[in-house]
Structure 1
Amino acid sequence: MKARAPRILMVGTALDGRGGVAAILSVLRAGGLFEREAVHYVSTHREGGALAKLCHAGAGLWATLATCLLQRPAIVHAHASSGASFVRKSLVLLLARASGCKTIFHLHGGTFREYALERSGALMRRWIRHTLERSSLVIALSDSWAVFIEGFAPKARVAVVPNAVSLPAARTTTVPESPAHLASLAGETETVVPGRILFLGRLEAAKGTAELLDAVVQLAPRFPQLRLVMGGSGDLDGFRRQAAQRGIAGHIDLPGWLDAAARDAELARASVFCLPSHAEGLPMALLEAMAAGKAVVASSVGGIPELVRDGENGLLVPPHDGAALARALARLLADEGLRSRLGASARKTVEAQYSTQAVCGRLAAIYNDLAGTR
């Protein structure tokens, strides 16, 4: 049987890769968007050495051009962040426009503002603005990011579509009453471990990792059972040294990058989830933690304040403020009732506003509007 011609050509990072963009794309595919909307997917980036990345990017650009010329998709939908990701996707969209396709620039990544305003020279800023304004539509993850895009590229047409997250089945969790009780429950991933804080993200300064380690220094004397699990790729040996220099090596676990199963197991065991980033879009790790019914502490940057309402479904702290971070974490570690209330509210927030069904429906409506098939 003849294959169905693609209606949408979607371009992004490798679906089996790491990071938030790969995670959201996998959620959309699992939610049926690719099948229902006849999406053909091309990746222009994957993990590896410089030569491997260059070859993959070249192959992705060639595949994009061939698809545009030979199969004539109605829309080319590119997922991009900053730096090399933006450069690749700007070329993709240039090829798509030259082929007569409608185009969507879907902005991810919390450092795009800095990239556009501070790290780029005058020529690159003009190219960024040109790319945004020539796109048929720019998708922002939050209202605050939409305001920035509209100010930076006034002629751009902008829509807000948040990230989607799969909602796991509700679990009946057990909180151990004593070390002996905890030992008896070993192996049960549904068991919440008292004093266990989970961080998920790349281990780098921009994620607020130094402030998080400093907060542990302040918290450890009051909460001797405290354990901070920092799941993510980065300089693990360097972070072990930082923890040792602060005298908290015994309170830190560094398992490295976690696949989906390991991530879900860690979320189930965590008492609190923490993401004290300096800049963000709408982080998938935070959405995943809230979908799992976890009380969260996050910094008030990017689209996070539109997701987390302080005191209602989580706690917000200023970025770069280790003392405020420690106080917020202490509130949650000391109050099981507060953790339960915030965690339940967090899950309801995700269920109502960030479900896969809702976001896939919004994207389908955008596709129909651009393609003139409403």
Structure 2
Amino acid sequence: MRILLLAQFYPPVIGGEERHVRNLGRALAQRGHSVSVGTFMHSGSTDTEFDGPVRVHRLRGTIQRLSNLHADSERRHAPPFPDPELLLALKRLVAEERPDIVHAHNWIYASFLPLKVLDGARLVVTLHDYGLVCAKKNFMHLGTHLCDGPRLAKCLPCATAHYGAVKGTATTLGNWASSFAARRVVDRFIAVSHAVARHTGLTRGRAAYEVIPNFVPDDIGILGPEDSCVRELPEDGFILFVGDMMRLKGIDVLLQAYARLEQAPPLVLIGRRVADTPAEFPPNVRVFSNWPHSAIMHAWHRSLFGVLPSVGPEACATVIMEAMASGKAVVATDVGGMPDLVDDGETGLLVPPSNTQALTRMMQSLLDDRTLLSRLGTTSLARVGRLKAGAVVTRIEQVYGGVLCPSASSVVLPAEQRSGEPSC
């Protein structure tokens, strides 16, 4: 197949979603597909380049030129509505690449929707967050509690509080319009967790979808040479948190719970500092930023266990997969996509979000019971295979096949489409 992946960011801009798209492109290319990527222009990049066997096309959009609209100049997000310049660039790209499948990731799909309507290209959209219904993408109302569902009268003030009046209104209304259109013209949605499918309304609507998690490469557990930064880690046997150091990720809850532990080993935090990152940390907490992924994998191998106490509904935490591939248990909150990844009491432990006492109790149990800790880690390593490329990319290929040949589809279809399908 000829496959065009669309993603607003791509390495050297790196994060969980960007790493997923890159890994997916490489895995598909290794399986004999012709793979290209359409992504935003990045400073210092050329219009077209090769990332191994994958052709990467750097595109420009009108919204990306307006730097004052973006909080982070390195991550100028795609709008949830068609961007005129980006739409024209995508039209040229489709004419050049002639893909069988266009596979878009999050809001960049909005700029492709008019082309889908005009040209009839096959379109798959992966939802890595709650952006199909939430202008902030995190499904947290006013940043304090889990949303109970989208309503325009509620979404507008919530987005306005986050973005400001003009940007919040444009983002909300644009997202509502694009979501309405997408549910009618996207051939298949892929939700990265059951929580994403549920909260975005896919489970109650008529759009065809399947729940397929993100994945890690098959060789994720094979360590490369140590980066120099690994030497900064404390001795083996520390608790590890990986991710943005923000309240939504539960960083405040973690620090409070950690302070209550008895005979606690060091706590290592690796991730980006953001606006609400704590200004100070306790003495036994080591904080590192901007580490390469290879160094993070070394940290996982040297840790006792991981902790991911997100207070919001994390869609699909790749860091849990990386911990599992390193043979480590994870203490996580039972919200969002975490229960899809962590088998409570078998590969890790789940606690209610924002519950400091429960988080302390579960971390202390792993420190006190090394037999339990070992058992959870061993089971994690045994079960991570279902979250590796060999298993997950096969499922994505099946979605592509189902789009091109509906009679071969294994995705969840609306009831009225489950009979009388044409044979290929």
TM bin, normalised by shorter chain, reads: 0.7 to 0.9
Task: List per-residue Cα deviations over 1:61-103 (Å, max 9, x = no partner).
Answer: 54422122344322211011xxxxx2x3311233333222011
> Could you tell me which amino acid in structure 1 is paired with residue 383 of structure 2?
T
Once residues 343 and 55 of structure 1 are traced to their aligned partners in structure 2, the CA distance between those partners, rounded to angstroms, is 37
Once residues 135 and 38 of structure 1 are traced to their aligned partners in structure 2, the CA distance between those partners, rounded to angstroms, is 22
> Could you tell me which amino acid in structure 1 is paired with residue 126 of structure 2?
H
Task: List per-residue Cα deviations over 1:309-357 (Å, max 9, x = no partner).
Answer: 2111100011111111111111111222111110111122211x11211
> Is 1:193 the equivalent of 2:236?
yes
1:151–1:239 Cα change, 3 Å: same
2:400 corresponds to:
367
> Could you tell me which amino acid in structure 2 is paired with residue 207 of structure 1?
K
Q: How does 1:155-234 map to 2 (within 5 A)?
A: 155-168=206-219, 193-194=236-237, 196-219=238-261, 222-224=262-264, 226-234=265-273
1:323 corresponds to:
357
Alpha-carbon distance, 1:122 to partner: 6.0
The SS at the match of 1:239 is coil
1:144–1:210 Cα change, 3 Å: same
Alpha-carbon distance, 1:20 to partner: 0.9
Alpha-carbon distance, 1:156 to partner: 1.1
Task: List per-residue Cα deviations over 1:19-48 (Å, max 9, x = no partner).
Answer: 210121232234344662212111137699
Task: List per-residue Cα deviations over 1:103-130 (Å, max 9, x = no partner).
Answer: 1110002645448725454664343232
Alpha-carbon distance, 1:283 to partner: 0.8
Alpha-carbon distance, 1:166 to partner: 2.4
1:237–1:372 Cα change, 3 Å: closer
- Structure 1: tracts of 5 or more residues without a match: 1-5, 81-85, 173-185
Once residues 276 and 320 of structure 1 are traced to their aligned partners in structure 2, the CA distance between those partners, rounded to angstroms, is 8
C-alpha contact (below 8 Å) 2:310/2:332 kept by paired residues: yes
- Structure 2: tracts of 5 or more residues without a match: 44-63, 131-136, 142-148, 157-171, 224-229, 409-424
- Counterpart of 2:3 (choices 3, 8, 15) is 8
Q: Percent identity?
A: 27
Task: List per-residue Cα deviations over 1:137-177 (Å, max 9, x = no partner).
Answer: 110112332233445871211111111112457689xxxxx
1:99 corresponds to:
119
2:314 corresponds to:
280
1:137–1:318 Cα change, 3 Å: same
1:307–1:46 Cα change, 3 Å: farther
Tell me the TM-score normalized by structure 1: 0.80
RMSD: 3.2
> Could you tell me which amino acid in structure 1 is paired with residue 370 of structure 2?
E
- Counterpart of 1:258 (choices 283, 287, 291) is 291
Alpha-carbon distance, 1:188 to partner: 12
2:369 corresponds to:
335
Moved over 6 A (4+): 55-59, 169-172, 186-189
The SS at the match of 1:104 is strand
Aligned residues: 338
C-alpha contact (below 8 Å) 1:45/1:53 kept by paired residues: no
1:215–1:139 Cα change, 3 Å: same
The SS at the match of 2:395 is helix
Alpha-carbon distance, 1:288 to partner: 0.8
The SS at the match of 2:278 is helix
> Is 1:37 the equivalent of 2:33?
yes
Higher helix residue share: 1
Alpha-carbon distance, 1:304 to partner: 1.2
The SS at the match of 2:346 is coil
> Is 1:90 the equivalent of 2:129?
no
Q: How does 1:240-251 map to 2 (within 5 A)?
A: 240-241=279-280, 243=281, 248=282, 250-251=283-284
Once residues 38 and 203 of structure 2 are traced to their aligned partners in structure 1, the CA distance between those partners, rounded to angstroms, is 29
Once residues 133 and 65 of structure 1 are traced to their aligned partners in structure 2, the CA distance between those partners, rounded to angstroms, is 20
Tell me the TM-score normalized by structure 2: 0.71
C-alpha contact (below 8 Å) 1:206/1:277 kept by paired residues: yes
C-alpha contact (below 8 Å) 1:7/1:73 kept by paired residues: yes
> Could you tell me which amino acid in structure 1 is paired with residue 347 of structure 2?
N
